[in-house]
Every structure is written in C-alpha cells, then in structure tokens.
Amino acid sequence: MSVSRPEPVQIVKQRRDGALRGLLSGVPYISYLGIQFDRRGDELTAILPFDEKLIGNPALPALHGGVTAAFLEVAAIIELAWGSLWEEMEAGRVDPTAELGAVRLPKTIDFTVDYLRSGLPRDAYARARINRSGRRYASVHVEAWQDNRARLFAQGTGHFLMPPPPGAPAE
Amino acid sequence: MTDIIQIARQFIEAIPHARALGMEFESLGDGKAVISMPYDTRFIGDPATGVIHGGAVSALMDTASGAAVMCHPAGPISTATLDLRIDYFRAATPGQRITARAECYHVTRSVAFVRVTATDEDAARPVAAATGAFTLDRPSGASR
C-alpha cells in the first residue's frame, strides 16, 4: 500500500461530527433534556444548557438530582458508544454518512451518583473517563462541573453491559 | 401529621422537573412515598426498542425518595440528595406507566437513608431499585 496524503481537515471533521450527530439524534431523551456534546478530536464534553424545567428545588433554586443523574449517565453512555464508533470509523469500517439509528447503545447495570454541591441554575458540563472497557462489561467515571472545572458539583461511577459487536450472533 | 403531608405534597408539586416528567402522587405519609410517571416517547433512551431512558427512571426514584424523606415523622424542613446508587434490572416495557415506591427507613439527626423500587405495570418484576443518603434539615429549635 502506497503512502497516501492525509485527508483534508474539513473532510475528517465532517465525518467525525456527522458520526457524533447520528449517535445523538437517535435518542429522544437526550434532546428532551437539551444535552449537547462538544468534540475536540476524540474528546467529548457533555453540555447541559440551563432550562427552567430542569429545576428540582425551586426555593434555592437548584437542578433536580434526577436531572444530574441523567446527565452523568448520558455522558457515560455516549462516551462508551463514541469510543466504539470512533474505532470503527477511523478504521474505515463504518460509513458515517449512513443512518446510525441502529447503533446499539451500552446498557446501564448500575450507576452511583455522588452529589457534591447543589447544581446552580446555569449550564453544566461533564466529561466521562472509561476506566475499563472489556468485551462485555465496562466501568466509567464521570465528573460534572459548572463555572469552575476544579469545583465538581457531582461525580458518578457506572457499570455497563456492552452491546455485542456488529455481526455477532444474536443473544 | 396532615401538615407534613400537605407541605411535602406542595413541595413536590412545585418542582418544575417533576411536573415536566408528568409525575403524580399515588400515596404519601410516614416516611413512604409512591409516585408514578406516564410513558412518554420524549423520554425514550433506546430508539431501537422504545424503552424509557434510565435517567428518567432515576429522576422518578430520586423524587419519590426526597418525598419519602419530607414526610418522615421527624418533620424535616428540607432535604437534598447526598448520594444515590441505582441498579437497573430490566428494560421497562414501552407504553407502560412507571411507579416508584420509596421508603425512608432510617434517619439520624442530619441524614436520612432511603430505599426505592421502580416497577412498570408488572409489579412482580421490578425495573430498577436504588438506595440513597439524603440531607435532613430539621426546623431550628427542634428538640435534638
């Protein structure tokens, strides 16, 4: 195989952003909460823009604990799915322009949320780190913050059941 | 006692996110709360199956847990989740209502411990369960 020139940056970005959009657009609950993802290379940051309907304690006011849990869980699931998709995509095994609605997402086995301070009525951010990703099980840690990256308002750890690889016999 | 229930009910119904998810009280009192939520396609987490996202079930269980703390006979004036561990047993059947039953089974001076189970219309096979620790703020001047 001859050495080929690197692809133009715009082509690469289009492919990666398209794949990420495809992954997210299929999940109604992600759009319902208004969660977006910022991508830098393969690094994802989940963003939860503030909205009145996310409030759990109107007196403070503070984000609903369930919203925080959901935000962390979404960040973890998308990080895992993105990790698998990235490998397939960069190896040229998936067509990122194809409909990605059929992407099988990891299933949550358990998820533990540690509420460190109350979520303020403003945008929140989260990043997930895959601590272990095996063929069947994965362990992911997620950190969430608002104004200050070093002052987490919540963190979470979850275990996930990975979907069988494409082409694997059905369970 | 009625006061506590009334306060907790109003407190929960004033929560924008509980309203947004369509949560409704089934029962409330003595450290126990039952809250349910209708199936809604906007809350789907797995488009291939139409199953509700675990996060929505978490929000329901967190709300029921907070309500259970608020109606505990200790009479807290407010509460917040310290930690919640959720175990997912199976996918909730699409189209079915989800019900969370929470019990605040122990309180200390400033902490409440809660367990909660979520079921769909097949109440014999839970969808998820969680245990949590919540802050417990007692009215100032309350006997300690």
Q: What is the pTM of this model?
A: 0.91
Q: What is the pLDDT of residue B99?
A: 97
Q: What is the pLDDT of residue A114?
A: 97
Helices (H) and strands (E) in chain A, counts: 3, 8
Q: What is the pLDDT of residue A4?
A: 79
Q: Identify the CA nearest to B58 among candidates B98, B94, B31.
A: B98
Q: Where are the beta strands (DSSP E) in B2-121?
A: 24-29, 32-37, 44-46, 51-52, 81-88, 98-107, 111-119
pLDDT tens across A86-145, in order?
888 888 777 665 655 557 889 999 999 999 999 999 999 999 999 999 989 999 999 999
Decide: B111 and B126 in contact? Cβ < 8 Å: no
CA distance A112 to chain B (A): 4
> Which residues of chain B carry a pLDDT beneath 50?
none
CA distance A16 to chain B (A): 21
Q: Which residues of A touch B (CB under 8 A)?
A: 26-29, 32-33, 52-59, 62, 64-67, 69-71, 73-74, 101-102, 104-105, 107-115, 118
Instruction: Report the distance separating Cα B92 and Cα A34, nearest Å.
Output: 23
Question: Quick one: tokens of A13?
Answer: 């970005």
So what's the ipTM on this one? 0.89
